[in-house]
């Protein structure tokens, strides 16, 4: 085990607590930046052994290459979309993060969104505000209360939790398609092609990460394969689906409903067509904010210190092979 007491330099790009800073100082000098522009990071990294970021800092290839001594990049959060993992891997730099902390919060949110659109809760909320209870009851569709076919696009710990609850507790059937070739083993579900997934799902729940291969996977042509009675729930990533095509399908009643909590461009512009689309539940990008942020910081710091001591991290998105 490597003794790093007092020997390392750690750059922190966003505010963290005094307690967290003290924990990092057990490994050496801590440089907390007030300016997180790319140039400020580049100037701070030549002598850095570790870089700790939260949600705002984009760690590009140019920034990584500015740190010849970097051994670890820590992200206090559940995603590493804004870190160039390819360059980090090539450089032999560990990238550590906290993927497990948001699983319960994101699972709760995804289940709530699925059940809201399946049971048409936003629609009935608006109808009741504008009409009488009896008039709303006449619009009830009994099929909406029955368990449906859940289609999972992409597999993740969140999709695993959501699928198990809907299948094992609420009696839904599940089909799935994972471009990476993953398999579901913890509950009953059938792997299918993407075309079959779109054709059969009553609710399509999207759990893909954003990559060059997945970007735009739900194009206008693919969305058109969904049945008019289907609903779409996207808690995956913005950029996976054609938002304007989705809005047009909802307006033309080519799709029964949708729920979205992450968008290609955030914040959602005032002119965005989804804002005025019927039967569409819009949720701000809150999934990762439902956790205690101090817990994420504390856990990623421990993994940063493990790497600096020469130990294996618990949660690595990219891991050094040296």
9 in Cβ contact with 28 (< 8 Å): yes
Among 71, 91, 237, 315, the active-site one is: 237
97 in Cβ contact with 317 (< 8 Å): yes
DSSP state of 27: T
312, with CB counted inside 10 A (0-12, 13-18, 19+), is: exposed
115 in Cβ contact with 146 (< 8 Å): no
302 is catalytic: no
90 is catalytic: no
285 is catalytic: yes
For the chain, the first-to-last Cα distance in angstroms comes to: 15
117 phi/psi in degrees, rounded to 5: -75, -35
- What is the number of other CB atoms lying within 10 angstroms of the CB of residue 86? 11
116 in Cβ contact with 123 (< 8 Å): no
What is the distance between the alpha carbons of residues 18 and 257, in angstroms, rounded to a whole number? 46
What is the distance between the alpha carbons of residues 27 and 297, in angstroms, rounded to a whole number? 16
Among 266, 275, 295, 311, the active-site one is: 266
What is the distance between the alpha carbons of residues 270 and 173, in angstroms, rounded to a whole number? 38
Residues facing 72 on adjacent strands: 50, 94
Q: Would you please indicate which residues are annotated as catalytic (active-site) residues?
A: 237, 266, 285
């Amino acid at each position: 085990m490597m003794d790093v007491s007092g020997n390392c330099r750690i750059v922190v790009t966003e505010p963290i607590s005094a307690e967290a800073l003290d924990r990092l100082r057990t490994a050496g000098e801590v440089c907390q930046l007030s300016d997180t522009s790319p140039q400020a990071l580049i100037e701070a990294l030549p002598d850095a052994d570790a870089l700790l970021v939260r949600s705002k800092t984009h760690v590009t290839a140019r920034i990584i290459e500015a740190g010849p001594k970097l051994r670890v990049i820590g992200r206090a959060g559940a995603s590493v979309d804004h870190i160039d993992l390819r360059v980090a891997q090539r450089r032999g730099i560990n990238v550590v993060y906290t993927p497990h902390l948001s699983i319960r919060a994101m699972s709760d949110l995804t289940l709530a969104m699925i059940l809201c659109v399946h049971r048409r809760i936003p629609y009935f909320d608006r109808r009741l505000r504008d009409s009488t209870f009896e008039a709303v009851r006449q619009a009830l569709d009994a099929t909406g209360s029955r368990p449906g076919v859940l289609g999972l696009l992409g597999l993740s710990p969140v999709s695993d939790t959501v699928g198990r609850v809907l299948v094992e507790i609420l009696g839904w059937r599940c089909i799935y398609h994972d471009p990476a070739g993953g398999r579901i083993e913890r509950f009953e579900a059938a792997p299918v092609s993407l075309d079959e997934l779109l054709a059969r799902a009553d609710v399509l729940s999207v759990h893909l990460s954003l990559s060059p291969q997945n970007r735009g996977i739900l194009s206008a042509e693919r969305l058109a394969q969904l049945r008019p009675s289907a609903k779409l729930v996207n808690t995956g990533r913005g950029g996976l689906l054609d938002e304007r095509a989705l809005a047009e399908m909802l307006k033309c009643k080519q799709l029964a409903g949708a729920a979205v909590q992450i968008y290609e461009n955030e914040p959602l512009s005032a002119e965005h067509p989804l804002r005025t689309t019927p039967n569409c539940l819009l949720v701000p990008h809150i999934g990762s904010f439902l956790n205690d942020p101090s817990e994420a910081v504390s856990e990623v710091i421990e993994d940063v210190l493990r790497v600096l001591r020469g130990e294996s991290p618990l949660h690595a998105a990219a891991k050094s092979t040296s």
